[in-house]
Amino acid sequence: MADVSLQTRLNPLAEKLKLRLDEDQLMNCMRCGFCLPACPTFRETGIEAESPRGRIALMKAVADGIMSPDEVFEEQMNHCLGCRACEPACPADVKYGQLIEQARDAIEDHTEQHRWWVKLARGAAFELMFPNQNRMRWLGKGIRFYQKSGLRTLARGIGVMKLLPKPMRDMEKIMPDASSHGVVEQIGTRHPAKGEKIATVGLFRGCIMDVLFTETNIHTVELLMEAGFEVVIPDTQNCCGALHAHSGEAEGARALARRNIQVFKDAGVDYIISNAGGCGAILTEYDHLLHEDPEWKEGAAWFAERVLDCSDLLVRYGRLPGFSEDESKKPVKDSEPVRITYQDSCHLRNVMRSSDAPRRLMRQVAGVEYVEMMEADRCCGSAGIYNLVQPEMAGQILDHKMEHVKTTEAHYLLTSNPGCLLQMKNGIEQHGLSDRMKAVHIVDFLHERMCSGCGSK
Ligand code: SF4
Ligand code: SF4
C-alpha cells in the first residue's frame, strides 16, 4: 500500500486541495448517481470520471491522500462546464459548484508554469480589463472601430481570420456590434418609475453586457420603469467576478464583490437586478464568497438576498406592461403566429432557480406561440469561456442542442444570458438556420412588444 502521508507531502497541489476543499461537502455525496443523467459531460462521454459523482470521488481521493493529483485529474476538473445541473438533481444537496471552484482555485494557485501567452491573456483579462469599467469601455471602442472602420472587412478579405483558431473565428463572425458608450453614458444613472413607485431597484449592468449588449441594458431599464420600478444604475459598479471565480481566481472575485456591495449599499436600493444569468448567479453567492471575511460577511448577505433576475422581479412584484402583437414581425404566412422557444441559462435555472418567470412572461405576449424545446434546461456548451478553451466538447454539446432547436421550428430563440445568446447565434449560423430563425435576449423581445407609450428614453 502506498504511503499516503508521504504522497501528500510530496505533492504541493494535493496539500492545497486538502486545505481548500470543503470536507463536509465531499462527505455529503452518498454516491447515489442521481446527478449523472443531468450532467452534459457524462451524457456526452459515458465516463464516470466525467460525471459529478466521479469528479467528487477524485477530489475526495486527493483530499484523503489516496490519490496524487496529476494532469488527468486537472483535465477532469477543467472538462466540467460548471453548469451546475447536478445540484438541483442531488437529493443530498451537495454544493458541487463550490467544490469545483475550490478545486480550480487550488489548481490555478499551483500552476506557476502557464505558457507565456496564457499568462499574458489571463493577466490582461482578470487584472487589467474586467475589474476596470473604463478599460472595458475602451475595449468596446476598439471593437467598434474594428467593426465599423472597414478593418473587419479588410481582415476577412485578406484571410487574416484564418490564422485564428476555429472557435475564435466562429465567434468573430457572430459578434454583435460593440458600443462605445455604455448604458449610463447613454441614458444616465437614475430613472423614475411610471405611475406609483413599487420599489427602487439597482441595475447590475455587467461588463460584457454593457459593451456588446448595451441596448439590452437600456431596454431592461425601460421595461422596469414601465412595470413600476425606479431604476438606479450605480456608475462605479464593477464586473461581478464570475469569470474570476470560475477560473480559479477567487481572491480577484472577492475584491470585486466587496466593491459592488459597497456601491449598491450606498445607492440605497431595495433589489439588485441582473439581466444575465451568469452574473446574477455569482451575485447571489457573494455571501458564500465572503463567508470567511468578518468585515464583509454581513454586507455580502445583505447584497445576496436582494439579487433577482429581471424576469423574476417583473413576475413577482411588477405591474406588468401589456406585451402586444407586433404585426411587422409576423412571419411570411399571415395566418401563422410568431413561434418562439427558450434556452434556459444554466446559472439562472440551477443557481438562481428561476425557470418559470421567463416562460410566464413569454406566454403573455399576444400573437405568439410559445413552444417548449426538448432539453431546454441542458447546457448549450457556452459556459463562460468553455466554448473557447474546450471547443471539442462544447461543439458536441452545441450540435445536440441544435437538433432540438430545429424541431421547434421557432422564429425566435430567446435566452437570458449573453454567453448563451452568442452560443445560440453561433449554432444558428453553423447549422444554416439564419434564414428562418433569430436568437434574441428575452428582454429585447419583450421590450419590442411593450404597450404603446412606453420605451421613451
Ligand atoms: S457542473 Fe455541469 S458539467 Fe460539471 S459536473 Fe455538474 S452537471 Fe456535470
Ligand atoms: S446526486 Fe448528489 S449525492 Fe448523489 S452522487 Fe450526485 S452529488 Fe453525490
Residue 81 DSSP symbol: -
Cell of 295: 468585515
**CA 73 – ligand 1 centroid, Å:** 15
> Do 61 and 142 fall within a single domain?
no
- Tell me which of 31, 35, 99 to substitute to probe ligand 2's pocket, judged by most ligand atoms within 8 Å of the beta carbon: 35
8 A C-beta contact, residue 288 and residue 330: no
Please report whether residue 200 resides in a domain: yes
Q: How many domains does the chain have?
A: 4
Please, what is the average pLDDT of the chain?
Answer: 89
> Do 16 and 79 fall within a single domain?
yes
Q: Which domain holds residue 125?
A: 116-174
Cα separation, 206 vs 136, whole angstroms: 10
CATH code of the domain containing 357: 3.40.50
* Closest alpha carbon to 26 in 103, 80, 85: 103
8 A C-beta contact, residue 256 and residue 276: no
Cell of 440: 434574441
Please report whether residue 322 resides in a domain: no
Please report whether residue 19 resides in a domain: yes
Please report whether residue 345 resides in a domain: yes
- Tell me which of 22, 24, 42, 53 to substitute to probe ligand 2's pocket, judged by most ligand atoms within 8 Å of the beta carbon: 53
Mean pLDDT of 449-453: 70
Quick: pLDDT tens for 122-131: 667 777 777 7
8 A C-beta contact, residue 207 and residue 219: no
**CA 294 – ligand 1 centroid, Å:** 31
- Tell me which of 25, 36, 94, 96 to substitute to probe ligand 2's pocket, judged by most ligand atoms within 8 Å of the beta carbon: 94
> Do 313 and 363 fall within a single domain?
no
8 A C-beta contact, residue 275 and residue 217: yes
Cell of 80: 466540467
What length is written for the chain?
457
> Do 338 and 438 fall within a single domain?
yes
**CA 42 – ligand 2 centroid, Å:** 13
**CA 322 – ligand 2 centroid, Å:** 43
> Do 255 and 133 fall within a single domain?
no
At residue 16, does pLDDT exceed 90?
no
- Identify the nearest ligand to the CA of 378 by its number: 1
> Do 192 and 311 fall within a single domain?
yes
Quick: pLDDT tens for 248-287: 788 899 999 999 999 999 999 999 999 999 999 999 999 9
At residue 114, does pLDDT exceed 60?
no
**Cα–Cα separations (whole angstroms), residue 348 to 25, 149, 292:** 22, 37, 25
Distance of alpha carbon 164 from the chain centroid: 24
Rg (the chain; Cα; Å): 22
Cα separation, 335 vs 313, whole angstroms: 34
Please report whether residue 403 resides in a domain: yes
